[in-house]
Amino acid sequence: MTKTPYQDLEDRFRRMDALSGALNVLHWDMAAMMPPGGVAARTEQLATLKTLRHAMITDAALPDLLDAAEADAHLTPWQRANVAEMRRHWIHDAAIDADLVDALSRACAACETIWRKARADSDFPAVRGALQDVLTLTRRVGEAKAEALGLSPYDALLDQYEPGGRAADIQTVFDDLGAFLPDFLDDVLARQAAAPAVLPLDGPFAVDKQKALGRRMMETLGFDFDHGRLDESLHPCCGGVYDDVRITTRYDEADFTSALMGVLHETGHALYDQGLPKDWRGQPVGADRGMSIHESQSLLMEMQACRSREFLEFAAPVMRRTFGGSGPAWEVGNLARLYTRVERGFIRVDADEVTYPAHVILRFRLEQAAIAGDLKLTDLPGAWNDGMRELLGVVPPTDREGCLQDIHWFDGAWGYFPTYTLGAMTAAQMFSAAKRADPVIPDAIAKGDFTPLLAWLRASVHAKGCSLGVTDLLTEATGEPLNAAHFKAHLKRRYLDG
């Protein structure tokens, strides 16, 4: 039986998805398990697979197949959405040639490896040359995609992570937050100073017990260990594929809370991946709907749900049993103050909800300037420190706490950072909508039951895959497009009124 153009496309994209899945697992292994001596072989593997996938999506037959499928009046709405996503992927990938794909893959693998040691040594000059190679090639990608999409180079790179996202729109949102947050931060810090001091949790906290606590909480949230695992890496991450989701965290025996929040954050990502529509696995329409939605799922779990007093009512006894804790420091009230403590810190992944947007705004500014050629990498550490001083009133003591702290740029992810704060705003809006739709959610969380919350997310977000655009998905789930008022209201309730 002769396949229709649409069926041919489904077969082709299913094979491409298998290659992408293999790449994801190899990247995860590189971050979590690969010995240092494996770099050369892994670089070759990644470059080869990326080049093969690129050859498949840039096959000369694709444009005619896409045209024919788009003209097919018999396609279902999901199939039409699938073709639209296929077209979007094709436009992005066909804009760049195979040599550039290969060169960027190799440059990123080399740079990430150098970054690991440079970060440990706080030695930015050691990785600057490799980062320049990545940046130069990324600019070429941005320029090529800009021409194909009719966008600026930065917007073309942003569109890879946030379909339809534009820097000018994001700047408007960030300007609004930038006007709101400084005075709000001062008010929160003043309120904290007048409140009882947070009692420290005295360690050490053995890593094996932290791992056991992390796994227990992953199960509580709904993570399926038959289709995923928890490991350790230098930078917490979520990778793998739908049915084999790999998450990592990093441990500090002096502070178990950082690793636990990393686990809860990455579990939010993993639950999204595990909940994507099974009938559309292997197809573009069955994938996640961009990084602001993905980040909303991780931040909804970590920040909205798992820093709530309700969650701590459930978690506090579990924490006490795990670490043998006792006394006032381990009571819910103190733990709530600990988990909602606001401070001007250096590290983005450890930042609280109030200061976190400033970390993102800084990176958004710097990566735009670097892509445009207005910021030289020799000036990056100084520009970073100046931005931290302006936005948060602190200056990192070393580049390890400054421009070396995140993996993203060193691994080629330019245009990604804005999605974190967009995700935080989206998370607040979604959590509010979920509680309106099912008022039992807070009481259930207080009992360690995430079933009602996960059921709402499965139906309203996860099961939609890419069948809707970002704005349409959020509007259908919450009743309105992105509205910063929900994020601001959440911050006021938790940090000033609570």
Kindly report, residue by residue over 162-207, the tens digit of the pLDDT. 999 999 999 999 999 999 999 999 999 999 999 989 999 998 999 9
The answer to whether 270 touches 287, Cβ cutoff 8 Å, is no
Residues 112 and 186 in one domain: no
Which range marks the domain in which residue 368 is found? 168-497
User: For the chain, what is the radius of gyration of the CA atoms?
Assistant: 23
Residues 93 and 176 in one domain: no
Indicate the DSSP class of residue 66: H
3-class DSSP assignment, residue 255 = coil
pTM for this entry = 0.93
Residues 158 and 262 in one domain: no
Q: Where are the alpha helices (DSSP H) in 276-308?
A: 291-299
Residues 330 and 398 in one domain: yes
Residues 446 and 486 in one domain: yes
Active site residues: 266
Tokens of 79: 């199939």
Residues of the chain with pLDDT under 70: none
pLDDT at 260: 95
Residues 106 and 198 in one domain: no
Please count the other Cβ atoms lying within 10 Å of the Cβ belonging to residue 60. 6
Tokens of 264: 């809860």
With a CB cutoff of 8 Å and minimum separation 6, the contacts of 383 are: 366, 369, 375
The residue out of 163, 191, 207 marking a domain boundary is: 163
Residues 299 and 420 in one domain: yes
Residue whose tokens read 């006490």: 320
pLDDT at 31: 87
Classify residue 61 as exposed, middle or buried by CB count within 10 Å of its CB (0-12, 13-18, 19+). Answer: exposed
Tokens of 67: 């045209």
Q: Model confidence over 274-313: pLDDT tens digits?
A: 999 999 999 999 999 999 999 999 999 999 999 999 999 9
Residues 91 and 195 in one domain: no
User: What CA–CA distance (Å, rounded) separates 182 from 393?
Assistant: 10
* DSSP of 73-115: TT--HHHHHHHHHHHHHHHHHHTS-HHHHHHHHHHHHHHHHHH
Of 364, 409, 475, 474, the C-alpha closest to 111 is 409
The answer to whether 260 touches 301, Cβ cutoff 8 Å, is no
Residues 157 and 172 in one domain: no
The residue out of 96, 130, 163 marking a domain boundary is: 163
**Which CATH number goes with the domain that contains 264?**
1.10.1370.30
The residue out of 163, 178, 200 marking a domain boundary is: 163
Residues 181 and 108 in one domain: no
pLDDT at 349: 86
Residues 118 and 73 in one domain: yes
Given strand 228-232, what is the order of strands in its sheet? 228-232, 244-249, 237-241
The CB-based long-range contact list for 375-382 (8 Å cut-off, 24+ gap) reads 377/128, 377/131, 377/132, 377/135, 378/128, 380/124, 381/124
Residues 341 and 245 in one domain: yes
> What's the total number of domains in the chain?
2
The three-point CA angle 232-353-198 to 5° equals 85
Pairing of strands 244-249, 228-232: parallel
